[in-house]
Structure 1
Amino acid sequence: MKRTNRSKSVIRRRYPSKALHAIALGLLAIPVLASAQLAPAPAEKDWREANDEVGKFKRGHADILKWEAQNTPAPQSQEEATPSLSLMTAEDAVRQAWKAHRELVWSMGKVGRANVDLIAKGRWTELDPMLQRKVGVVDELLEVAVQGRKAWIQAVASRQTLKHLRDALGAAEAANELGRRMVSVGNWSKLQQAQTQLALSSAQMNVRRAQHAATQAEAALIKTLRLTGVHSTIALPERLQDVPTMAIDQSVFDDRAEAIASQLPRAESMRNRAHVRLAQQAYQASHALALNTRDEVLKVREFITEETVLHYNGMLKSVWDLLGEVSNQSQAVVGAIDAQRDFWIAETDLQWVLQGGAPDSFVSLGGSGGETAAAAGH
Structure 2
Amino acid sequence: MTSLYKFASGAVLALLLSGCASLSGDGGFSAAAGISEPRTGARASVEGRLPRNEDDARALAAVISKKLAQPLAADDAVQVALLNNRGLQASYWSLGVAEADLVQAGRMQNPVFDFKRSHGGGEVGYERTLTFNLVNLITAPMASRIEGRRFEQTKLLVANQALKVAADTRLAWVDAVAATQLADYAKQVEASAQASAELAGRMRKAGNWSSLDQAREQAYHAQTVAEVTHAQKAAVAAREKLTRLLGLSGEQAADYRLPDHLPDLPVAPRELADVEQIAVNERLDIQAARLDTEQTASTLGLTRTTRFINVLDLGAVRNTEGGTATRGYEISLEIPLFDWGSARVARAEATYMQSVNLLAQAAVDARSEARERYADYRASYELARHYRDHVVPLRKQISDQTLLRYNGMLMSVFELLADAREQATAVSGYINALKDYWTAQANLEAALGGRLPTNTGVKP
- Per the alignment, do residues 180 and 335 of structure 1 end up closer, same or farther by CA in structure 2, a change over 3 Å counting? same
Give ranges in structure 1 of 5+ residues lacking alignment: 1-83, 111-131, 358-378
Counterpart position of 1:99:
83
Q: Which amino acid in 2 is paired with 1:340?
A: L
Return the offset for 1:144: 1.1
CA distance in 2, matches of 1:283, 1:214: 24
> Per chain length, whose mean CA-contact separation is higher, i.e. which structure has more relative contact order (CA < 8 Å, sep 6+)?
1
Q: Which amino acid aligns with 1:143?
A: K
Tell me: CA distance 1:101–1:190, structure 2 relative to 1, closer, same or farther (3 Å).
Answer: closer
Check conservation: 2:175, 2:238, Cα contact below 8 A.
Answer: yes
- Alignment-derived partner of residue 38 in structure 1: none
Residue pairs, 1:299-338, within 5 angstroms: 299-338=393-432
1:340-375: per-residue Cα shift (whole Å, max 9, x none)?
Answer: 111111101111111179xxxxxxxxxxxxxxxxxx
1:261, 1:273 within 8 Å by CA — same for their partners in 2?
no
1:204–1:96 distance in 2 versus 1, CA, 3 Å:
same
SS in 1 for 2:372: helix
User: Would the aligned equivalents of 2:71 and 2:256 in 1 still touch at CA under 8 Å?
Assistant: yes
Match of 1:159 in 2: 180
CA deviation after TM superposition for structure 1 residue 198, in Å: 0.9
| In structure 2, C-alpha distance between the alignment counterparts of 1:133 and 1:298, rounded to whole Å | 50
**Match for residue 256 of structure 1 among 262, 270, 278:** 278
Q: Which stretch shifts more, 276-285 or 94-103?
A: 94-103
In structure 1, C-alpha distance between the alignment counterparts of 2:75 and 2:214, rounded to whole Å? 49
Aligned position for 2:163: 142
Question: Which of residues 214, 219, 234 is equivalent to 2:256?
Answer: 234
Per-residue CA distance 1:39-90 (angstroms, 9 max, x = gap): xxxxxxxxxxxxxxxxxxxxxxxxxxxxxxxxxxxxxxxxxxxxx7644310
RMSD: 2.9
The separation in 2 between residues aligned to 1:134 and 1:215, in whole angstroms, is 36
Paired residue for 2:195, among 174, 180, 183? 174
How many residue pairs end up in the alignment? 252
Structure 2 CA distance for partners of 1:261 and 1:85, relative to 1, 3 Å: closer
> Structure 2 vs 1, CA of residues 310 and 133 (structure 1 numbering), >3 Å: closer, same or farther?
farther
In structure 2, the CA distance between the partners of 1:88 and 1:227, relative to structure 1 (3 Å rule), is closer
Decide whether aligned partners of structure 1 residues 85 and 209 sit closer, same or farther in structure 2, where only a CA change above 3 A counts.
Answer: farther
TM-score, structure 2 length as denominator? Answer: 0.50
SS in 1 for 2:264: coil
Larger radius of gyration: 2
Structure 2 partner of 1:290: 384
Partner-residue secondary structure (3-state), 1:232: helix
- 3-state DSSP class of the match of 1:291? helix
Which structure's residues are more often strand, by fraction? 2
The answer to whether the Cα contact below 8 Å between 1:312 and 1:319 also exists between their aligned partners in 2 is: yes
Shift of 1:331: 0.8
Give the C-alpha shift of residue 192 in structure 1. 2.2
User: Shift of residue 107 of structure 1?
Assistant: 6.2
For residues 103-145 of structure 1, give each alpha carbon's deviation from its aligned partner in whole angstroms, at most 9, with x where no partner exists. 659969x9xxxxxxxxxxxxxxxxxxxxx99962421221111
Instruction: Say whether residues 1:279 and 2:301 are aligned partners.
Output: no
Asked if 2 retains the 8 angstrom alpha-carbon contact of 1:169 and 1:200, the reply is: yes
Structure 1 residue 209 displacement after superposition: 0.9
